[in-house]
Amino acid sequence: MNNLRIAIQKSGRLNEDSIKILKECGISIDNGKDQLKASAKNFPMEVFYLRNGDIPQYLLDGVVDIAIIGENVLLEKGSNITITEKLGFSGCRVSLAVPKSFKYNNISDLEGKRIATSYPNTLKQYLQKKGINADLHIINGSVEIAPNIGLADAICDIVSSGSTLFKNNLKEVEVMHNSEAVLAVSPKLNKEANEILEELKFRIQAVLRGRKAKYVLMNVPDNSLENVIKILPGMRSPTVLPLAEKGWSSVHTVIKKDKFWEVIKELKVAGAEGILVCPIEKMVL
């Protein structure tokens, strides 16, 4: 059997998050320091460590079969590449920013202005949709200094926390695109590699479902069971087991992280006690 060839970012946060999810999928990668390619010990996979901006071309050429990559990079360089799974980590946004002294009301204020960016294709498409003409300056790296040295009136760049903008006396004025890490697929993927990919996706989906939920156990008086069960969003229905103490039951269920605190508050009001919350490693449907 051939190996599935996956590209991930050579270094940085996306590299760390990519290695982490593969590990949580039970894939052990034998990687020495500064290796550009490594093999998995227990899964038919080869890992290529590449520069983020080079990965779309490797996918298009079929040098690698799949990649974990920022959606923003595909938007800029890989418009013909299919996204098969959104991974929910390494979130950022592609935004327009201007100096804090710039009196910005809306996008029309950038008409005729100079904008520095490492994302010219993304920026061109956005400005065309908005009917704005601007002078684009393409810069690789350190885009945020352009207004301070008089090279540009505004910038288009990726933003995570916004701290870099703050340090350079800039303010974010337009969010053009929200991005996260995705699993992207080469248009030249063959049948055998696709079969391995389906197994990888099955594992990834189980990990992602686990990350988005909590396993909750609680003690509930029997006379409050009906009200508590109505509150629970559960996967199908909660598990209810009688306790040794007469008149009480133990209720087990799964709650989504984004609804967690609101649901817990309602459960307490409804009579639940001794609520125990556990992380879920994986969730297979």
- The Cα–Cα gap between 193 and 132 comes to 44
Average pLDDT over residues 255-263: 89
For 200-236, the pLDDT digits (tens) are 999 999 999 999 999 999 999 999 999 999 898 756 7
pLDDT in tens, 97-131: 999 999 999 999 999 999 999 999 999 999 999 99
pLDDT of residue 13: 85
Residue 55 has which token pair? 């990965």
More confident residue, 151 or 32: 151
Degrees (nearest 5) of the Cα angle 211, 215, 219? 160
pLDDT exceeds 80 at position 94: yes
Domains of the chain (ranges; CATH) run 4-89+180-210 (3.40.190.10), 92-179 (3.40.190.10), 212-279 (3.30.70.120)
Q: What is the pLDDT of residues 6-52, one digit of tens each?
A: 999 998 889 999 999 999 999 998 765 567 899 998 999 999 999 98
Q: Are 72 and 158 in contact (CB under 8 A)?
A: yes
Integer CA distances (angstroms), 160 to 12, 30, 172, 175, 180, in order: 14, 31, 11, 11, 11
